[in-house]
Structure 1
Amino acid sequence: MDKKIELVEVHRGKHGLNRCLRALGVSKGTWHRHQCRPAVPAADEKLKAEVLSVVREHPAYGYRRIQVELRERTGERVNHKRLRRLLGTWDLALPRKVARPWPSGVRQILRTGRGKLDLVQGREMEPLEALSTDFTEIRYAGGTKKAHLMAMVDVGSAWVPGWAVGSSADRSLALRCWETVKEALAHVGRGTEGVIVHHDHDAVYTSYDWLQTLLIRDRARVSYAERGARDNPWIESLWGHFKVENGSLLSEAATLEELEWVIDRQMLYYNQERRHSGLGYRAPMAYLEDEGIHPKVLVEIGPRSGSVLGAQVPSVLLSSLLVVYLWRRTSPRKQPTGKYMK
């Protein structure tokens, strides 16, 4: 590029600037940037010669490999920030293009169902009919360490039936949280069949393990927030209140085990004692009891119409497509016979 700029400077007086730039394939913005570029220090000019030597031998090297090569050749440790800046100045930076992975079968189904993925928005949900969930990051040990918390909150009652804490926001943490939810639902006489689990398009929630567990094994239903956090306000509200009200307690936990203990204690307080304005200033458990939801009554009267096992919500096609796809993916294929066998 420097040679092209030099040619432009030599011939611009005779042929004009724009014609020279077009002939050499140089944009006017690049030319102006070179005109305003400060003078290069002697140390950088010396380094440039070494960098050009590496680039000629290894044209596919990025700044990390160039940095290692320079250290072996010259014995000088070049700061990676300086090297990246100089590569950009010398127009030697590699234009990286990372190909997007082909969407999985699940994501292709979700793409075709766009606009019908959210089974919760705009509906008046009965208690224990739909659960909202997501991950959040928790800082502890004075803010020097971090963990991830996943919880599920009932859209109709603000009750948090289950949660789990771990070092990573992965499938194992999500499935552990789901097991605690199933146990809590069993304690109030409910199963998971027909329960709507509402979340975003995180890779965990579109994974085969997650969907196979919810849709096929436990016969629950999945719902996706199509506009991210804006379509999942229930869990966002929980995180906002929980992390603000318990910020100092969470930060004072020295270990992950202490953090789990603090979260367990404060979640119980949230469910059993904390008054919620949206529930008439009642705690979630008190609200559920006022709604007649406790083990004895549920065993005697069963689910009410409009509850989890009662009336069906619209857009059942999406869950059906996901179930069929997952079943086909996991079912054993027939072995070839006759002339196709080898």
Structure 2
Amino acid sequence: MLFKIRRIFNDSKGRYGSPRVYQAFRREGVAVGENRVARIMREWCMTARVMRVYRRMTRRRDHLKALPNHRLDVGKPVAENQQWSSDVTYIKLGKTYVYLAVVLDLFSRRIISWRLEEKLNANLAKATLRQAFTSRQPEADLVFHTDRGIEYRAARTQALLNQYRVRHSMNRPGRCTDNAEVESFFKTLKGELLHATSFVSLRQLRKHIKDYIDGFYNSERLHSSLGYRTPLEFEKIN
């Protein structure tokens, strides 16, 4: 049993704790107790990679135009491309920081577009969003939820949203948990990929993020919120 547990743990590159290792066994049809898996992993010091996540701190801009949180009114999505969520986080690269923007489908938790750039501005938000529109082709009346960052309120970003007839939804003031799904992704990414790892160039970091999102997070990682299915698997069966 130890070798089977270690295989699953190593295949996840140390990203799985005991609940996901146990669920991986269930998917393989192996009968084993969850407590036994946890005990063996604890005894052999197999601990999932985690870290604390520090958000970029921005000054409150309550005097700038903001929009209501439409997610409070529409309920949970029941299909793809009904509700998307987006945000930006910073990543330390050498002695400076770079910025990662993502768009996430709230139905399947799939990352449908992302960009990594050296500057945080409206161009980053707009380019990430345009990539999502190109790949998914959503119908009108999509709810697109973000924080109150100026990069999402910029005229060029708003023009793109209007072009696709999107309802832009925003966090309530001081309520970063309104965008909890993307916050959770950033925490997972930093804990499972970036923690205790150094990158020497933007190109190298892009490659690792691409491999993580496309090769693991969307296609292999078991998500507890999806009944321990992957985002791609969840979309196929619903």
Q: How does 1:74-85 map to 2 (within 5 A)?
A: none
**2:88 aligns to what?**
135
Aligned to 1:147: 98
Q: In 1, distance between residues paired with 2:114 and 2:139? A: 16
Contact 2:92 2:98 in 1 (8 A): yes
Structure 2, unmatched stretches of 5+, are: 1-60
Would you say the 8 A contact 2:108–2:234 is kept in 1?
yes
1:175 to 115, 119, 126: 126
CA RMSD of aligned residues (A): 2.0
Aligned to 1:184: 135
How far apart are the structure 2 equivalents of 1:179 and 1:149? 15
Deviation at 1:184? Answer: 2.2
| TM-score, normalization by structure 1 | 0.48
In the other structure, the counterpart of 1:120 is: 71
Q: How far, CA to CA, are the matches of 2:189 and 2:70 in structure 1?
A: 26
- 1:146-196 C-alpha deviation (Å, 9 max, x unpaired): 2100001111110110000001111111111112212221xxxx4352221
Instruction: Measure, in 1, the Cα distance between the counterparts of 2:221 and 2:236.
Output: 15
Matched, 1:260 2:213: no
Q: Could you tell me which of 114, 136, 154 is aligned with 1:163?
A: 114
Query: Are residues 210 and 267 of structure 1, via their aligned partners in 2, closer, same or farther at CA, if it must alter by over 3 Å?
Result: same
- Contact 1:128/1:157, CA 8 A, preserved across alignment: no
- C-alpha deviation, 1:128, in angstroms: 2.1
Deviation at 1:139, TM superposition (A): 1.4
Instruction: Say if 1:102 and 1:137 are closer, same or farther in 2 by CA, change over 3 A.
Output: closer
SS, match of residue 161 in structure 1: strand
1:279 aligns with 2:230: no
* Partner amino acid, structure 2, of 1:265: D
Partner of 1:307: none
Aligned to 2:235: 288
Q: Report the secondary structure of 1:149's partner residue.
A: strand
The match for 2:183 among 231, 236, 258 is: 236
Q: Secondary structure at the match of 1:160?
A: strand
Residues paired across the two proteins, number: 174
- 1:186-201 to structure 2, matched below 5 A, reads 190-201=137-148
Deviation at 1:246, TM superposition (A): 0.6
In structure 2, how many angstroms separate the alpha carbons of the residues matched to 1:102 and 1:133?
A: 20
Aligned equivalent of 1:40: none
Identity of aligned residues (%): 21
Contact 2:81 2:139 survives alignment (8 Å): no
SS in 2 for 1:177: helix
Partner amino acid for 2:81? L
Deviations 1:34-64 (A, max 9, x none): xxxxxxxxxxxxxxxxxxxxxxxxxxxxxxx
In structure 1, distance between residues paired with 2:69 and 2:204: 37
Using the alignment, how far apart are the partners of 1:192 and 1:253 within structure 2? Answer: 39
Structure 1: gaps (5+ residues): 1-100, 292-342
Runs of 4+ in structure 1 over 4 Å off = 101-104
1:224 — aligned with what?
170
| Greater C-alpha radius of gyration | 1
Alignment deviations for residues 100-153 of structure 1 (CA, whole Å, 9 cap, x no partner): x9956xx1xx4xx6xxx1111361222321111111001134xx3321000011
When normalised by structure 2's length, the TM-score is 0.68
- Could you tell me whether the CA contact under 8 Å between 1:153 and 1:159 is conserved in 2? yes
State the structure with bigger RCO (CA 8 A, min sep 6), 1 or 2.
2
